[in-house]
Structure 1
Amino acid sequence: MARCEPQDPPARFPPAAPDAVHDSPPRWRKVLYAQQPYEDTHTGETFLEDLVVNATIPHRDYATVVWSTLVVDQQLSTVAAVGSASFNVYKGTITARQLLLVDVLLMLLGSLLYLVACAWAGGTTAGDAAAEAASSCSLASAASSPTKPGWSQQHSPGSSMQGSPWPSPYASPSKQPPLSAATSVQGGASSWRAGWTAALDGAGSLASLVVATALLSPLLGTLTETVSSDSIIACACLLQLAHLFLHDYHFSAALTSHLSGSLALGAAVCGSVLIASRLGSPAAVYAQLLLSLELYILGPYCRRQVAAASPTAHLLVTVAMAAGVAALLARQSVLLTSTFLCALTFVTFICPMWLVRIHKFKAAINGPWDEAVPRLSRAVTRQLSQCELSVR
């Protein structure tokens, strides 16, 4: 007789509600003022789609970076020239009269370079304005011609023009308004008048500077009599290094527009005063201070104008300054000359190579987590500008 084994009881499941509706949560929207069933820190599935890497990082070219280092070479040559001239005067290899003659020659040469650069830059600007006016006239006539309707868009003279491959390393002070055809005809004469006006203003400032330096020379010559020469040399070297570090190499309006530029100029002048106080005679102090003021205060403006006028002239001025300083250092020591030339080579060629090579590791990440930047419409911008003009 077959044996009957007990069967397991049937499994019991909770009864499912037949009318239950499972609503899926609404899709998250990137809206600030909206009631959504999500936390404040919630991020949607498309959060990383707006990720941008190196959006504002410019591409660095080795030749362009090398060209930008010429202003650093010029300032380094300036510091070396002041130090070498002071050392030669201190040792007696250069007399105070010879240094004063060099000051006068540098003053005349700098004024001449500044005037020629102003005239050259003004003539170039006038020529560009005339060419732009002529091209606009030709484009207008071509646009009005029924025979060639699309010629002005395809064969525009300015459409294929590229910027200068070696731009000025200094920032442009301000954008000048476009010149008309009548104004561009008188561009050369106006540039000469502007150059002469600037030269006369500079001559007045220079005359007051020369007189003030002459009056203060006897006092500055005895400023550090109770201090040892080693301490003076150490402080002067530190001040010159601070000047090289803080100097505004791409100034737009003035050397002292920013705090770093003011500190750099103050450090350079203070170091020059400390060095001049060890020269002894008032004539030597006067000659050394005049050379320092010319190179530190007036020199950058002249070099900026030359760089704006012609890239070739900017390169020639840099080479001439480096060669002159090397010849001056060669009278003291071959080691100093070699160190100076090695420093120029390092700054001009090695540092740009490092910068270009490590630039590929730059990673600037931008995305929806960045702070919002308000964008004003043209109407609001125009109203704000009108309010500013009315307040002025």
Structure 2
Amino acid sequence: MVSHPPPESSSVNQNDNSQPSKIIKPPRAPLKRLKSPAWDHFDQIKNNDGFVVWAVCECCGKDYAAGSNKNATNNLLAHTPACPRIHIRMRFKIIQYGSFLRVDNGSSSSIVEEIATGKQFSIRDVFQMRKISDASAIEMESDVSESTSPTQPKWRKVAYGGMQPGFEDNHTDESFLEDMVMNANVVKRNMLKVMLDSVSISQYLCIVALVVIVWTLTLRSSIDANSLLLLDVILLGLGFFVLLLTAEMLSFNLLLKFSFFITGLYVLSPIYHTLTWSISSDSIWALTVSLITLHLFLHDYSGCTVKAPGAPERPSFMSNISLNASIVASLLIASRLPSRLHVFAIVLFSLQVFLFAPLVVYCIKKYSFPFHLIFSVGLMAVTLAFAYRLHRLVFVLLLSLFVFVNMVCPYWLIRIQEYKFEINGPWDEAKLCFNITE
């Protein structure tokens, strides 16, 4: 038999100055005071790694503390045949020793709410905690094999197999949120790096703006056909020189292809000249503006319009649509020029810029990023100079666009990144990964 605790003046509990909690008697039989110190039995079972059962006899009200310790367990089993029923008051596990012990409820139902939470109690408090409802007590039959309450099967995390006995279909245990990961794929961005990356966008905006300025000056007859042809030759020579310097991809085969391309374009110039005679000029201007806007929205600012040497992949479908929109806009503008030579010169200039310039810029950026920045800043200065000559309002709009793209948008991106919150966990759909080697 297990004896009740000694008075507070006992030497075993000198450090425990707290008053014992009030004893609440069970509704059926009062709990009698134990005749011998309760900690004697705790000294016997304190090295037990298993569960400890605190049982109360329904007939005589005697307390028993039984664990894997042989003597303490036999005291409970010896009294079992004399009583028809025994109430299990607590079933806990000693986890931590010392002046305080941490107890953990091991039964399927939370008999003592404080114990289930893992709160620390003194040894005296464990045996004097009698605030247990009669409905939460577990009744045991007198059979020796059923002297301890059966534990509920542990919930297992399985994908298939149906419902597990004793658990709801949507049951989640305490480890459900252990696999939750927050902001696993969020990339922390630097303000300076984002501003440097936005230079590529401003650079291509300058290229498109220069093309539009040349179109406008040609339609106003400010630039003649010979000047356009000279500009085409200069741009073509500079492009070949950059490719030879950065990528070393200039070859006789490439020059031959360009010769065939220019010859075919010259032959088709009369057709382009009379292509839109039956369409009004207002429709041509509106369609040209729409196509250029579509070109800017769908353009791939991180790559080039053709397969560059060393590029990881080919141009995307949207990039091809953007290129086609720019070519159609060039043909619409060329159809409003006065002569076939003007048509040939302006179409060649447009194709060099929209088709050939992104490849040259990509090679420059791959060759040297500082040189890429110098080239971009110089291109912005030239574009702003021509825009100021064309109209001051165009200059202000273009300058505002550069400030918005290179300063406001990077700051905006860094600012809203603080509110990005992404969670991943066991509720996400499974992602199948296949490693196909054949």
> Unaligned stretches of 5+ in structure 2?
1-26, 30-83, 86-138, 309-313
- C-alpha distance in 2 between matches for 1:53 and 1:232: 52
* Among 150, 153, 156, the residue aligned to 1:26: 153
* 1:375 Cα offset (Å): 5.0
2:260 corresponds to which letter in structure 1? S
Match of 2:330 in 1: 272
Query: Over residues 287-308 of structure 1, what are the superposed CA-to-partner deviations in whole Å (9 max), with x where a residue is unaligned?
Result: 1111110011111111101101
Match of 2:79 in 1: none
| 8 Å Cα contact 2:225/2:345 also seen in 1 | yes
Match of 1:287 in 2: 345
* 1:211 Cα offset (Å): 1.5
For the pair 1:254 / 2:307, whether they are aligned, the reply is yes
1:1-392 equivalences in 2 (<5 Å): 18-19=140-141, 23-34=150-161, 36-37=164-165, 38-118=167-247, 192=248, 195-197=249-251, 200-251=252-303, 254=307, 257-374=315-432, 381=435, 384-385=436-437, 387=438
1:196 corresponds to which letter in structure 2? L
- C-alpha distance in 2 between matches for 1:41 and 1:280: 77
* 1:235 Cα offset (Å): 1.2
- C-alpha distance in 1 between matches for 2:281 and 2:250: 44
Match of 1:146 in 2: none
1:369 corresponds to which letter in structure 2? W
- C-alpha distance in 2 between matches for 1:277 and 1:102: 20
* 1:213 Cα offset (Å): 1.5
TM-score, scaled relative to structure 1: 0.69
1:30 corresponds to which letter in structure 2? K
* 1:34 Cα offset (Å): 4.7
Q: 1:358 to 1:201 in 2, by over 3 A?
A: farther
| 8 Å Cα contact 2:243/2:250 also seen in 1 | no
Query: Over residues 233-283 of structure 1, what are the superposed CA-to-partner deviations in whole Å (9 max), with x where a residue is unaligned?
Result: 111111111111111112377386311111111111111111111112111
Match of 1:121 in 2: none
> Unaligned stretches of 5+ in structure 1?
1-10, 119-191, 388-392
Q: 1:277 to 1:261 in 2, by over 3 A?
A: same
1:101 corresponds to which letter in structure 2? L
| 8 Å Cα contact 2:203/2:380 also seen in 1 | yes
Query: Over residues 137-189 of structure 1, what are the superposed CA-to-partner deviations in whole Å (9 max), with x where a residue is unaligned?
Result: xxxxxxxxxxxxxxxxxxxxxxxxxxxxxxxxxxxxxxxxxxxxxxxxxxxxx
2:424 corresponds to which letter in structure 1? N
Q: Secondary structure at the match of 1:220?
A: helix
- C-alpha distance in 1 between matches for 2:292 and 2:253: 29
Q: Secondary structure at the match of 2:431?
A: coil
Whichever structure has more helix as a proportion of its residues is 1
1:358 corresponds to which letter in structure 2? I
Q: 1:370 to 1:201 in 2, by over 3 A?
A: farther
Q: 1:267 to 1:375 in 2, by over 3 A?
A: closer
Rg larger for = 2
Query: Over residues 110-133 of structure 1, what are the superposed CA-to-partner deviations in whole Å (9 max), with x where a residue is unaligned?
Result: 111111112xxxxxxxxxxxxxxx
| 8 Å Cα contact 2:240/2:250 also seen in 1 | no
Query: Over residues 334-370 of structure 1, what are the superposed CA-to-partner deviations in whole Å (9 max), with x where a residue is unaligned?
Result: 1112211211111111111101111111112111112
* 1:228 Cα offset (Å): 2.0
1:106 corresponds to which letter in structure 2? L
- C-alpha distance in 1 between matches for 2:388 and 2:261: 31
- C-alpha distance in 2 between matches for 1:211 and 1:364: 56
Q: CA RMSD in A?
A: 2.4
- C-alpha distance in 2 between matches for 1:340 and 1:201: 40
* 1:24 Cα offset (Å): 4.2
Q: Secondary structure at the match of 1:92?
A: coil
Q: Secondary structure at the match of 1:331?
A: helix
Whichever structure has more strand as a proportion of its residues is 2
Q: 1:334 to 1:276 in 2, by over 3 A?
A: same
Q: Secondary structure at the match of 1:369?
A: coil
Q: Secondary structure at the match of 2:426?
A: coil
- C-alpha distance in 2 between matches for 1:346 and 1:49: 43
* 1:310 Cα offset (Å): 0.6
TM-score, scaled relative to structure 2: 0.62
